[in-house]
Amino acid sequence: MSSRSRISQPPSSSNFIRQIIETDLASGKHQGIRTRFPPEPNGYLHFGHAKSICLNFGLAAEYGGRCNLRFDDTNPEKEEQAYVDSIIDAVRWLGFDFGPQALFASDYFDFMYRCAEYLVESGHAYVDSQSADDMRHHRGSFTAPGRNSPYRDRSPAENLALLREMRDGRHADGAHVLRAKIDMASPNINLRDPAIYRIKQAAHHRTGDAWCLYPMYTFAHPIEDAVEGITHSICTLEFEDQRPFYDWLLERLAEGGLLERPLPQQIEFARLNLTYVVLSKRKLAQLVQEGHVDGWDDPRMPTLMGARRRGYTPEGLRRFAERIGVSKANQRIDFAILEDCMREHLNEVAPRRMAVLDPVRLVIENYPEGREEFCDVPNHPQRADWGTRPVPFSRELWIEREDFTATPPKGYFRLYPGNRVRLRYAYVVECTGYDQATDSVRCRVFEDSRSGTPGAAAYKVKGNIHWASVAHAYAASVRLYDRLFTVPNPGAGERDFRLELNPASKEVVTAQLEPELRATKALQPVQFERHGYFNPDAALGGFNRTVTLRDSWAKS
């Protein structure tokens, strides 16, 4: 890494997962590392997934390993190909490479079934024929141990025969279930003979009707990891109690010669929580279904497809993931960090343009009607090599309504009668008043104040406002998005999160844009000077506001 890139991208700080990896590499347990991002294709990806994706792919890249995109498609009733496509799209958009193709748990169904038969034959699993209700009752509680199922002592031969009947579709859903045989009295409820295979007479989006028996996550996931040679299987905190089973299963299968060592290690981290944002799949679906937002890709949604339309960049999201770090402490990240990451990146890549969002006419009384000239306006104040563009200037301009006031508050240095401001990259004007009949601000220009001319420096003004020529500008709709909720933790406690929706989360205005903006291509972020960063919306036309600029004036 060059010293220059180190300045713009400070070295990432340590975290407990990097330490584990470094220890494993140093001890020789692994020569290299392999991680995986294992979504279930039953919904759309959101910011929380982005954290996991960046973590898994980022770690792999950092240590010269690889990361698989693997779909955990073990429940045919909830999964769809459409989600697979959307997820693949989102991972690629985020900028990660998972090799020639995505992987699927369903590709290992044959092997998983073989593992199940092995467990049965070796006495580590049995077919239970209790109802779901009976199973629950036998499971006990947090304080009371469970009781063995009356079917627990079936012989391996009987279990094997039953399992095969189940596989062959001879039994109805729920009639039997395959369970690991561990300990019904374990203080860890996950070890009280967890179900590992259930009958589902359902078509799978990839295997069709080849199976009517599907493995449970608990059973499938460790095997998927092991088969793929995953070294560090990173998941969220709620799976911590599952780890003993993860290890138990892998050990049994390794003993049986079905798996090779070293076995993968499950490591848990705290999932992402963000202030002013809800990330639960249920709540997100509710927002869409009840019409509180305009679909899954509404720019206000924390989904990756929403983020993309909003104008959030993959680079910004990656910086965010790196900046918030990873730990095991439940957190709630300040939304301002995400916004800061976006501003930081967008500031580097977005060309500047002028757009008047709430237009009011400014008439320059001493500027000839019909005259037009072009001002050279830089595309980026810090990047001279981005060049300039000609922006048309004339007698009547659009300016921001809030850039004029008849009664200036203390500290206000924009337009008010008698005050001078510079029309950005053009002339200095002095406000002469406001004409109610035509709803226009009046002013006179100082001809020798033109930007770039020798006389310009003689004018010292504090205010500097953007503008667009009435004769040349074009009108377009601009959607001003703000946070979707009004409280940092929507739905906390007993509250209904829908009552905390921000009624002003979307404001649509008709703005007046400088002509150059017509050429903005899809997904090309631009900065509207003094406003913020905006992203053209191919479907809706016009622009979506990604994030505002910092505004220390509005704040005070």
Verify cis geometry, omega within 30 degrees of 0, for the bond prior to 215. no
Q: Give the one residue of 2, 3, 27, 141 binding RNA; rule: CB under 7 A.
A: 141
CB of 112 within 8 A of CB of 231? no
- Minimum CB distance to RNA smaller for 29 or for 462: 462
Nearest Cα residue to 265 out of 457, 40, 486, 25? 25
- HSE on the CB side for 97, CA within 13 Å? 5
**Rule CB under 7 A: is residue 5 a binding residue for RNA?**
no
Please tell me the distance from the alpha carbon of residue 243 to that of residue 350, in angstroms, as a whole number: 46
- Minimum CB distance to RNA smaller for 112 or for 259: 112
- Minimum CB distance to RNA smaller for 16 or for 474: 16
> Binding mask 289-318 vs RNA (x if CB under 7 A, - otherwise)?
------------------------------
Q: Sign of dihedral through CA atoms 487, 489, 495, 501?
A: positive
**Rule CB under 7 A: is residue 497 a binding residue for RNA?**
no
**Rule CB under 7 A: is residue 131 a binding residue for RNA?**
yes
Q: Give the one residue of 270, 279, 476, 487 binding RNA; rule: CB under 7 A.
A: 270
**Rule CB under 7 A: is residue 407 a binding residue for RNA?**
no
Region near RNA per CB under 7 A, out of 46-54, 331-339, 431-439, 498-506: 331-339
- Minimum CB distance to RNA smaller for 23 or for 366: 23
**Rule CB under 7 A: is residue 328 a binding residue for RNA?**
yes
The encoded tokens of residue 95 equal 């900028």
**Rule CB under 7 A: is residue 10 a binding residue for RNA?**
yes
Please tell me the distance from the alpha carbon of residue 321 to that of residue 302, in angstroms, as a whole number: 14
SS3 481: strand
**Rule CB under 7 A: is residue 147 a binding residue for RNA?**
no
The encoded tokens of residue 85 equal 């496509």
Q: Give the one residue of 121, 247, 315, 344 binding RNA; rule: CB under 7 A.
A: 344
**Rule CB under 7 A: is residue 368 a binding residue for RNA?**
no
- Please tell me the count of residues contacting RNA according to CB under 7 A: 88
**Rule CB under 7 A: is residue 414 a binding residue for RNA?**
yes
**Rule CB under 7 A: is residue 135 a binding residue for RNA?**
yes
Region near RNA per CB under 7 A, out of 91-99, 240-248, 257-265, 284-292: 240-248
The encoded tokens of residue 280 equal 């639960």
CB of 401 within 8 A of CB of 466? no
Nearest Cα residue to 335 out of 270, 269, 278? 278
Q: Give the one residue of 3, 28, 238, 539 binding RNA; rule: CB under 7 A.
A: 238
Q: Catalytic annotation on 228?
A: no
Nearest Cα residue to 424 out of 411, 433, 415? 415
Q: Catalytic annotation on 281?
A: yes
Q: How many CB atoms lie within 10 A of CB 551?
A: 11
CB of 230 within 8 A of CB of 36? yes
Q: Catalytic annotation on 506?
A: no
Region near RNA per CB under 7 A, out of 112-120, 192-200, 286-294, 429-437: 192-200
Please tell me the distance from the alpha carbon of residue 37 to that of residue 35, in angstroms, as a whole number: 7
**Rule CB under 7 A: is residue 189 a binding residue for RNA?**
yes
The encoded tokens of residue 144 equal 């009371």
The encoded tokens of residue 214 equal 């599907």
Report the Cα–Cα distance between both ends of the chain, in Å, rounded: 41
**Rule CB under 7 A: is residue 529 a binding residue for RNA?**
yes
Residues in 42-81 at the binding interface with RNA, rule: CB under 7 A: 72, 74-75, 78
Residues in 81-120 at the binding interface with RNA, rule: CB under 7 A: none
| Gyration radius (Cα) of the chain, Å | 31
**Rule CB under 7 A: is residue 535 a binding residue for RNA?**
no
**Rule CB under 7 A: is residue 246 a binding residue for RNA?**
no
> Would strands 103-104 and 66-71 be described as parallel, antiparallel, or unpaired?
parallel
Nearest distance from C-beta of residue 447 to RNA, angstroms: 14
**Rule CB under 7 A: is residue 152 a binding residue for RNA?**
no
Catalytic site positions: 40, 271, 281
